[in-house]
Amino acid sequence: MSKIVTINGKEFTTLELQTIAKRHSMRYVIRDNEFKSSNLHFEANSLKAYSYGWWCFFRQIDDEFYFNNYGYSNSTCKHQRKMWSLLRDLGFSFHVLYDHETLCVSTKHTYLVKLYKHTMNLQRTINAKGTRKTTNARRRKYIESYKQEIEKFKQLGFTVNYSQIHREFRNIQNAYKRKLERQAEKRAIRREKNRINRSGLGKLIGVKRELPLVKDMEILNV
């Protein structure tokens, strides 16, 4: 006996859902309330669509639906085309966005903060010493695309808390500072190791190829 299922406020019979699924070369699983095909499924309870079980490209953010149409791979593009037509048949209306990551955030605010974070990370890398001009040119193109996305999403009603952006910026700066400190410590260890090897003290005090920490060398007083 066919029963009534509600999806996004609309009522369907299970027979209707099976017919819709078959039209898009999918199957409707009544027990799980899911539409499935090879490596593609749509959860009608949570209203999320996944490619290969982890790439979430359709979901609800706040009170609206968003479809990530970024071409992650050829097979995912096929999944997106199939899911697009299925969602239209189910009566969904949604905004389209392009994001190179899975659509994992739950609010417009966190999504916009993520875009700002990507932009700041790229700018920090460009400002670092020793980066190539050709690579930086490609990074600047990514920054421009992120800025365009940010403006587009603001027009869609995405809001941002600038205090959280500043906090993310401080986290990026602190992580970069810790990275520089670790690199400086490794350079100091290599210099001390080379000094010992050149002076011949390595054989005298039995220093192995692995140099001890600098503070241990201070104990040796050499």
Condensed to tens digits (0 to 9), the pLDDT of residues 55-105 reads 888 988 777 888 888 776 788 889 999 999 999 999 998 887 766 666 666
Q: Is residue 170 part of a domain?
A: no
* pLDDT tens figures, 116-161: 878 888 888 888 778 888 888 988 888 888 888 788 777 766 666 6
- Domain span at residue 193 reads 177-220
151 or 41, which is more confident: 41
CA 34 distance to own-chain centroid: 25
Per-residue burial over 172-184, b if 16 or more Cβ lie within 10 Å, else e, is eeeeeeeeeeeee
Q: Is residue 110 part of a domain?
A: no
In the chain, what is the straight-line distance between the N-terminal and C-terminal CA atoms, in Å? Answer: 88
Q: Write down which residue in 37, 64, 92 finishes a domain.
A: 92
Q: Is residue 150 part of a domain?
A: no
What contacts 82, CB < 8 A, 6 or more positions away?
A: 24, 25, 26, 37, 40
Q: Is residue 203 part of a domain?
A: yes
Q: Is residue 65 part of a domain?
A: no
The backbone torsions φ and ψ at residue 190, rounded to the nearest 5 degrees and listed phi first, read -65, -40
What are the contacts of 155-158 at 24+ separation with CB within 8 A?
156/64, 156/95, 156/108, 157/64, 157/108, 158/108, 158/109, 158/111, 158/112
* pLDDT tens figures, 166-208: 776 777 678 777 888 888 898 888 888 887 777 765 555 555 4
Q: Is residue 165 part of a domain?
A: no
Q: Is residue 49 part of a domain?
A: yes
Domain count across the chain: 2
Q: Is residue 34 part of a domain?
A: yes
